[in-house]
Amino acid sequence: MFLVKEFSSEVDSMAVGKRLKRKDADTKVTGEAPYAYDMSFADEQYLAVIRSPYAHARIVNIAIDYKILESLGVVAGTAKDIPGKNILHVILDDWPLLAEKVVRHVGEPVVILVAASLHLAEEARKYVSIEYIEIPAVFDPVEAKDHPTIQIFEENNVCSYWQQKNGDVEKGFAESDIVIENEYRTPAQEHAYIETQGCIAVPQGHDSMTVYGSMQCPFYVQRCVAEILGMEWSKVNIIQTTTGGAFGGKEDVPNQVGSLAALGAWLVRKPVKFLLTREEDIETTSKRHPAVIRYKTGVTKQGELKAIKVEVFLNTGAYATLAPAVLYRAAMHAAGPYRCGNVDVQAYAVTTNLVPFGAFRGFGSPQVIFPGEEQMDRAAESIGMDPSDFRELHILKVGDKTTFGQVIDQSVGLEQTLHKAREQSGWYKKRKPTPTIAQVLEEQKKGKYRRKGIGISTIFYGCFLGAAGKLMSRSGAYVQVEPDGSVRFAVGTTEMGQGMITVLSQIVAEELGIEYEKVYMTPVDTSRVPDSGPTVASRATIMSGRALQDACKQLRTLIYDKVALKYEVDATDIEIKEFQIQEITTQKKLLSVSDAIKLVYQERGQIAVAGWDVAPPTHYDNEKGQGDAYSAYAWCTNIVEVEVDSQIGTVDILNIWAAHDVGKAINPQTLEGQIEGGSLQGLGYGRYEEIIFTPEGRVLSNNLGTYLIPTTKETPKIHSIIVEDPWSGGPYGAKGIGEQPLMGIAPALTNAIANAVGVRLNTIPATPERVWAAIQEKIEEEKV
Amino acid sequence: MYSNEILSPTSLKEALAIKDQYVNDIFPLAGGTDVLVMVRNKLGVWGESPVLLNLNNIPKLNFILETDSNIEIGPLVTHTQLLESPIIQKHVPALIKAISIIGSPQIRNLGTLTGNVCRASPAADTLATLYARDTQVQIQTVNNSKLVPIKEFITGPGQINIPENGLVTKIVIPKLEGYFGDYISLRQRYALSIVVVSIAVEALLSKDRSRMDDIRISLGAVAPTIVRATKTEILLKSNAFTKNLIEKAEKMIIEESRPITDIRSNKRYRKAMTGVLLGRILREILSH
Amino acid sequence: MSQILHVTINGTSKEIAIEPDEILLDILRREGYKGVKRGCKEGTCGTCTILLNDKAVKSCILLAAQTENCSIITIEGIGTRDNPHPIQQAFVDEGVVQCGFCIPGMILSAKNLLDNNPSPTKDEVKMALDGNLCRCTGYSGQIKAVLAAAAVMRGEK
C-alpha cells in the first residue's frame, strides 16, 4: 500500500490529521463489542415473517388458526393488527409494513409470528394459510415503464423523474465527427455486510417503545416505529447497536426490520428479537438498483466533447423507497465531471416486481459512471487519443461550470488526482497499444495467453444530500464535560465501521485542546440529540463535525470565562495550546485544559452544550434541468491494472491506484481504510458480483457461497493517494470519503480489460464468461 | 433441528453393527462440512431428521498408507492431512493441487476425502483426479468387504451405490509411476467457491516421447458425475503425439462434454473451456 | 434426548447439557462466548471460526457432539484488553478494524497459521485468511497486521 499525502499549509495540530488509534478497536478485537445478536432481554421472544412466494399476486384470504397458535403460545399479526399507519415512510409513502390486498415482490412480508423460540415460530407457519391469485409480473425497468397492463406504482410505474439539460444535443451530434452510442446494463449488487440485519424491540407496555438495532439512520426508524404504532415520536427511542457493516443497506431497511419487531413487541408486550438469517437478508432486503443506461457521445477528431445524451432507467423494485434520491444522484452524475455545452440526461426510476432496491455506497452514481467512463474511453479510442489525455482536456477545474450549470468556485482537486495517479502508476509506460484480435490469436498460438492492460476513470461526487435532500440537511451534537476532566459527546450519525467515532473524537479533542484519549462518544440514541438526518452521502464527518465544532466553540467560551474570572485575566486574551490554557500576550501557561474543565465543574458552570449545523442551501430546477446540485464536490481518479487470460477470459486485478481529493484527511489511517475497502467493493461490482434472479423474480444467489464477494485471494495492491484541496465549508476543510472509493473502479477495470485484449463490455460484472464471449464475438466479426 | 440422535461408536465393528441395525435411517458423519449444510437446507435424503453415526471416535479410521501399488486413505482423513502428507505429495501431486483450492483452511481442517467422495458432487475437486486414477472405494458391511471402482460407486449427482448397511472404510488410489498428472479448475473466485469446470489428466508418454502409452482425462462440472473423456483418450492413445493431435483432441473433447447452464456458468462457456484446459495440459506435456 | 458434552473451552473443563442435534456455534454463544459470531451459518463467511484441537474450523457446520473431549479456543481465550495477544495488538495498531464483525474469526485463523508457521510469506497469510470474508477493509491491512504480529511473536519487535 503506497501513500502520498499533500497537506495544505496548516499549523501542527494536536489530533486532526493524525493517525490516531481507532476508538472502537479494543472491544472489537476481543469480541466484546455488542452487536444486535449479542443482546439479551428477559423473556425475549422471536419473530418470524411469512412472506409472499409470488412476485405479483392478489391476496384473497389469510386464514390463521388462532386457537392452535394460542395453545402453542404463538401470536400472529397481520396488517389489521397495526395500531397506527401501515406505511413505512421513506420518501413517497408507498411502502406498506405488511401486505394487505396485493403483494408486489417475492418475499414481501404478509404475516408476523411471535414466539418464545425461533423454532416454535417456524413451526407455527403451518397454521397460517394464505390464498393468492397470481397476476402478471414485470422485472425489467424498460419494459415496466408505461406498461399497458401491469401496474405497480400509479399508472406508468415511474415513481421519479430527474433531468439535466444544457445547450442543443442534436446540434452537437450533427457537429461531431464520431458518434458513439451504446446500451449498458448494471446488476443488482448486494451489500453483503458481514453482520446481517437485526433489531430488538423492547416495549414499555403500550406506552412507549425502545428499539435497538443494526442501522445507519436511527431517526428514520424512530419515525416509522412511531407511525406504525400510532405513538408520539417522543415516546419512541431508537438506540444503535454496534453495527457490523452497512454500506447503505441499513439505511431504510431497518425501518422495516425495526417496525416488524416493534409491531411484534406491541402485540405481545414483551421484547421481540428479529434477526435475519443470511438467506432471508439477501432474498428480501434492499440492494443496489439495477439499471439500463442508453448513452450517446459525440466528439470531433480534434478531441472536442460535443454532446452527451443519456437515458437512465433505474429499476427500483416493488416500492419506491429511496428511488427519488438515488435517481437524483444518478441524473446529476450521468454526464461526468466534464465541461460540455450540449447535454441531455433523462432519468427515470421505474417500479418492477423485484425486491425493493435501495441505498448502496455511491447511491445511483456507479450505475451511470460505468457507462459514462466507458463512453469517454471509447471516444478517446475512436480519435486515437490516450484516454487520460482525452479526459484531461475536459475535466472540471476551479471556476468551471458543470453540465447542470453550477459554477464550482473552490476545492476542485480532480486535476491533481489525475496527475498523481498517472505518475504513481507509471501510466504512460504501462499503457501499451490495444491489440487487435488477430494479434491476440497470434500470441495464443505461441502459447502466450496472458496480457496486461491498464485503464482509467475520472469521477466526481456531489457531497452530502444535495438539493434533493435539503430538508434532512441538519445535524445536532451534544458535548458534556465530566468532573474528572474527560469529555463525552453525542451525535446523531452512526458508526458502521467507517471510523466516524474516531474522526469525530479527533475533532472534539482538537477543538477543546484535550488529549484524544479523554474523549468518548456515547452510543447513538435518538433521545440524546435531535433528528440529525441519516448517516449517508458521506455527510457524517462534515455535518456532525460542524455541529460538534459549534458545541465546542460554546464550551470554549464557557471555559475561558471561568478561567478569566479565576485568574483575573481578560477572557479575550486566552488561547489553548498543547493541552494548556495560556495567555496570548504573555504566553504564560495558566492551567491544563483538563484542569480548566474541572474548574468549570467546580464553579457550577454550564457543563454541557448542544451544537447544531445546517447545510448550506442548494437549489435545483428540474423543469429547466439546471441548478446547484450539491454544496461541494469530491474528486477521484482511479487507475486499474489487470492481467487477462485471453483464452479463458479470467481477469486478475494487479493494482489499483486510487487518488482522492477529500479536502482534508482528519485521520489518514481510517481514510486509507475507507479507500481500500471501498475500492475492493467497487472491484466486486465490476468483476464478481451480481444478484441472479429466477424467471419468477426470486433471488437465486441467496447466500455467501453463491453471491460472491472478493476474498483475500482476489485482493490487488491498492495504492491510496490522498490529495487535500480544502473546502471552506467543512471542518478543517474536509469533504467526506465514504462513497467515492467504490464509484469509479468498475469502468477503470473494464477499460483496462479493453486495453489488454481489445474487447469492450456493455455489462458488468466482467465475468470470465462475458469476457470470453466478447472475444469470441470479435473473432466472428473480424472473421479471423 | 438436525437430528434426533447421534450415536458415537468407538470401533469399526460397533459402527458396522449399528449401520446394519438402522440401515437407511442412519447416516455416517465424519467432518460433517457438507452433511450439516445439506441437513439444514433439507436437501435430498436429508429432508427428514436423520440419526447420525458419528465416526470421529474411531481413531483406527484415520490412516494414510502406502502399499506397493496403491495409496490407501481412511475415512477420517481430512483434506489438511492429505495436503501435509509426504506420501500424497510424492505419489498424487495432482490431488494436492486439487485439495489446496477446496473451500478454505477451516473447511479443509474438518472435511474428509471420503466425505467428498460420498457427497458425489460432479464438481468436487478431488473426484476428477480420483476418476483419472481409476480409484477404488472399499465398502464394508457386517458380513463382507468389497472394492468398487469409483465410477460405479457414484451413480449420479449426490447418488452413491452402496448397500443400505454398508460404510465406506477405505479409498484406494493406484500409484501411477512415471505418469504426468495435473489438475486445473476454473471457478468464480479463488477461495470458498465451487468448480465451474475442471479437468484432471494422468498421462504416460512412451520412452521416446512420440506417443501416449496411456492417458486418462476426467472432466468435472460438465455432466451429472465426473466423466472420463473416453473418445478423446482413445484418440490420443492411437496417434502420434504432436501439436496437430492436440488440436484434434481439443475439438473432440468439446464434442464429448455435455455441460449445463446453472447459477455458476453457462453451457457454451463450459464446453469451450474443456478444450482450452485440455490443450493447456497437453501442450505442457509436449514441451517438457 | 439430552446428553452431556465434555469439552475444554479456553483451558477450562466444562460439562454442558446439549441436544445431540445442536450446532457448536449455538452452544458456544449460549455459554456466553459472544465473540463467536453468526454471519451465514453455511460455512462460508468465517465469523464463527474457533480453534478445535488447535485447528481453525467453522463452528456453524459442526455439531457440538462432534467435539466430545476436544479443546476449543474462542477469541475470549487468547487475550484481553489489558493483556492482548500480539495478533490482537497488531490489528489495533495497524488500524484494520472497521466494523469488527469479521475480526474474531480472522484473528483465530491468523493464530492457527502463526502457531504452525512462525515466518509465513504474504501468500501464505492470504491463504490462511481466505476463509474469512471481510467487506470493510480490503484485506491488505489485515495481511500486513498478521505479518507484523508474526514478527512480534518471533521476538523481533
- Domain chopping of chain C, boundaries: 3-77, 86-153
Q: Is A315 on the interface with B (CB under 8 A)?
A: no
List of chain A residues whose C-beta atoms are within 8 Å of the C-beta of residue C74 = 31
Q: Which residues contact B15 (CB under 8 A, 6 or more apart)?
A: B9, B28, B53, B55, B58, B167
Look at C43 and B37 and tell me if their CB atoms are within 8 Å: yes
CA dist A120 and A76 (Å) reads: 12
Q: Which of A32-46, A398-412, A608-622, B139-153 has the lowest mean pLDDT?
A: A608-622
Q: What is the pLDDT of residues B236-276, one digit of tens each?
A: 999 999 999 999 999 999 999 989 999 999 999 999 999 99
Instruction: Inspect the interface and report whether the beta carbons of A703 and C40 lie closer than 8 Å.
Output: yes
- Cβ–Cβ of B1/A119 closer than 8 Å? yes
Q: For residue B2, what pLDDT band results from cuts at 50, 70 and 90? A: low
The answer to whether A719 and A659 have CB atoms below 8 angstroms apart is no
Strand-by-strand arrangement of the A519-521 sheet: A519-521, A487-491, A474-481, A608-614
User: pLDDT tens digit string along C88-106?
Assistant: 999 999 999 999 999 999 9
Looking up cell 466553540 gives A553
- Helices B230-238/B243-256 angle, 10° precision: 160
Q: Are residues B82 and B147 in the same domain?
A: yes
- Cβ of A700 under 8 Å from any chain B Cβ? yes
Q: Per-residue pLDDT averaged across B156-160, rounded?
A: 93
Identify whether residues B65 and B132 lie together within a single domain.
Answer: yes
| Min distance B196 CA to chain A CA atoms (Å) | 11
Burial class of A669 by CB neighbour count within 10 A (0 to 12, 13 to 18, 19+): buried
Please tell me whether residues B10 and B112 are part of one structural domain. no
Nearest residue of A to residue C29 by CA position? A38
Last-in-domain residue among B123, B146, B174: B174
Cell of B254: 468439446
Same domain, B158 and B187: no
Percent of chain A with pLDDT over 70: 98
A155 Cβ partners below 8 Å, 6+ apart? none
pTM of the entire predicted model: 0.95
Neighbouring chains of B at 3+ CB pairs within 8 Å?
A: A, C
Name the H helices within A640-726. 668-683
Q: What's the CATH code of the domain at B211?
A: 3.30.390.50
| Residue in the block written with cell 495517479 | A421
Question: In this predicted model, which residue has the larger pLDDT, A20 or C29?
Answer: C29
Mutation for testing the B interface, residue in A713, A714, A775, A779 having most B CBs under 10 Å: A713
SS (H, E, C) A178-230: EEEEEEEEECCCCCCCCCCCEEEEEEECCCEEEEEECCCCHHHHHHHHHHHHC
Nearest to A332 by CA among A761, A724, A621: A621
pLDDT at C100: 97
Q: What pLDDT score does B288 carry?
A: 80
Where does A474-614 sit in CATH, by number?
Answer: 3.30.365.10
Q: For residues A227-244, give the mean pLDDT.
A: 97
Q: Which 141-160 residues of chain A touch chain C by CB within 8 A?
A: none
Q: What is the mean predicted confidence (pLDDT) over A265-288?
A: 97
For A727-744, give the secondary structure using H, E and C.
CCCCHHHCCCCCCHHHHC
Question: Number of CB pairs < 8 Å for B and C?
Answer: 89
CATH dotted code for C86-153: 1.10.150.120
pLDDT, position B47: 60
What mean pLDDT do residues A236-250 have?
A: 97
| C15 interface with B at CB cutoff 8 Å | no
Q: Show the 3-state SS of chain B.
A: CCCCEEECCCCHHHHHHHHHHHHHHEEEECCCCCHHHHHHCCCHHHHCCCEEEECCCCHHHCCEEECCCEEEECCCCEHHHHHHCHHHHHHCHHHHHHHCCCCCHHHHHHCEHHHHHHHCCCCCHHHHHHHHCCCEEEEECCCCEEEEEHHHHEEECCEECCCCCCEEEEEEEECCCCCEEEEEEEECCCCCCCEEEEEEEEEEECCCCCEEEEEEEEEECCCCCCEECHHHHHHHHHCECCHHHHHHHHHHHHHHCCCCCCCCCCHHHHHHHHHHHHHHHHHHHHHC
CA angle centred on C137, ends C132 and C141, rounded to 5°: 90
- Nearest-by-CA chain C residue for A241: C99
For cell 486478475, name the residue.
Answer: A652
Cβ-defined contact of B194 to A692 (cutoff 8 Å): no
What DSSP state is assigned to residue A288?
B
Cβ-count burial of C82 within 10 angstroms (0-12 exposed, 13-18 middle, 19+ buried)? exposed
Band of the pLDDT at C136, cuts 50, 70, 90? very high
Q: Please give the mean pLDDT across all residues of chain A.
A: 94
Cα separation, C48 vs C38, whole angstroms: 6
What's the grid cell of residue B252? Answer: 473432440
Q: Count the helix, strand and coil residues of chain C and give each as a percent rounded to the nearest 5.
A: 40, 15, 45
Give the distance, in angstroms, between the CA of residue A185 and the centroid of all CA atoms in the same chain. Answer: 20
The answer to whether residues B68 and B129 belong to one domain is yes
Q: Is C2 exposed, middle or buried (0-12, 13-18, 19+ CB in 10 A)?
A: exposed
pLDDT at res. A6: 29
Q: Contact A278/C42 with Cβ under 8 angstroms?
A: yes
Q: Domain check: are B192 and B282 in the same one?
A: yes
CB atoms near residue B69 (< 10 Å): 10
Distance (Å, whole) CA A539 – CA A544: 8
Are the beta carbons of A196 and A260 closer than 8 angstroms?
no
Q: In angstroms, rounded to a whole number, what is the distance separating the alpha carbons of residues C113 and C93?
A: 20
Do the chains contact at C92 and A29, CB–CB below 8 Å? yes
Helix (H) / strand (E) element for A645: namely: strand A633-645
Report the distance separating Cα A662 and Cα A635, nearest Å.
7
Q: Is residue B231 located within the same domain as residue B259?
A: yes
- Alpha-carbon distance of A202 to A209, in angstroms, equals 6
All residues at 6 or more sequence positions from C22 whose CB lies less than 8 Å from its CB, including other chains: B2, C63, C64, C65
pLDDT mean over A409-420: 97
Peptide bond into A695 cis (omega under 30): no
Of all residues in chain A, the percent with pLDDT exceeding 90 is: 88
Residue A158: the pLDDT is: 98
Are B73 and B37 contained in the same domain? no
Interval A531-543 mean pLDDT: 88
pLDDT value at residue C8: 98
Please tell me the CATH code under which domain C3-77 is placed.
3.10.20.30
Which residue shows C-alpha cell 483538563?
A594
- Which residues in chain C have their CB less than 8 angstroms from residue A249's CB? none
Cα-only R_g, chain C:
16
DSSP state of C64: G
Q: Which chain B residues are Cβ-neighbours of A708 within 8 angstroms?
A: 188-189, 192-193
- Shared domain check, B169 and B68: yes
Would you say A515 and A595 are in contact if contact means Cβ atoms under 8 Å apart? no
**Calpha distance B187→B195 (Å, rounded):** 5
pLDDT of A710 above 70:
yes
A7 pLDDT higher than 70: no
pLDDT, tens digit, for every residue of A182-234?
999 999 999 999 999 999 999 998 999 999 999 999 999 999 999 999 999 99
Any B CB within 8 A of A702 CB: no
What is the rounded average pLDDT of the residues A343-355? Answer: 98
C-alpha cell at B161: 451405490
Q: What is the mean pLDDT of residues A147-160?
A: 96
Identify residue A13 by its one-letter amino acid code: S
Contacts of C117 (CB under 8 A, 6+ apart): C124
- pLDDT, tens digit (0-9, with 9 covering 90-100), for A612-635: 998 877 899 999 999 999 999 999
Give, rounded to a whole angstrom, the gap between the first and last alpha carbons of chain C: 53
| Confidence check on the interface: ipTM exceeds 0.90, yes or no | yes
Cα–Cα dist A351/A323, whole Å:
9
| Predicted pLDDT of residue A510 | 92
Distance CA A640, CA A752 (A): 6
Indicate if the pLDDT at residue C1 is higher than 80: no
Residue range(s) occupied by CATH 3.30.365.10 in chain A = 36-135+191-284, 291-466+621-782, 474-614
What confidence tier does A606 reach under pLDDT thresholds 50, 70, 90?
confident
- CA triple A708-A710-A712, angle to 5 deg: 135
Taking 60 as the threshold, does the pLDDT of residue A10 lie above it?
no
Measuring CA to CA, how many Å separate C152 from each of A28, A576, C127, C147? 21, 39, 21, 9
Minimum Cα–Cα distance from B37: chain C residue: C42
By DSSP bridging, strand A272-275 and strand A198-204 are antiparallel
All partners of chain C with 3 or more CB pairs under 8 angstroms:
A, B
Could you say which of 3.30.365.10, 3.30.930.10, 3.40.50.1100, 3.90.1150.10 is the CATH number of the domain covering A36-135+191-284? 3.30.365.10
Nearest chain B Cα distance for residue A742, angstroms: 20
Tell me what the pLDDT averaged over chain B comes to. 93
* C131 chain-B contacts, CB cut-off 8 A: 103-107, 191-192
How would residue A601 be classed by pLDDT, with cut points 50, 70 and 90?
Answer: confident
How far apart CA A338 and CA A392 sit, in angstroms, is 9
pLDDT of residue A702: 96
Instruction: Say whether domain A291-466+621-782 belongs to CATH 3.40.50.300.
Output: no
Q: Which of residues 647-666 of A touch B (CB under 8 A)?
A: 647-650
**Domains of chain B: total:** 3
B142 & B191 share domain: no
> What's the maximum distance between 2 C-alpha atoms anywhere in chain C?
53
Q: Across chain A, which distance is largest between two alpha carbons, in Å?
A: 92
Is A31's CB within 8 Å of C74's CB? yes
In this structure, the number of other CB atoms found within 10 A of the CB of residue A232 comes to 9
Residue B51's pLDDT is: 84
Residues B115, B147, single domain; the answer is yes
Range of the structural domain that residue B143 is part of: 61-174
DSSP codes, A550-605: HHHHHHHHHHHHHHHHHHT--GGGEEEETTEEEETTT--EEEEHHHHHHHHHHTT-
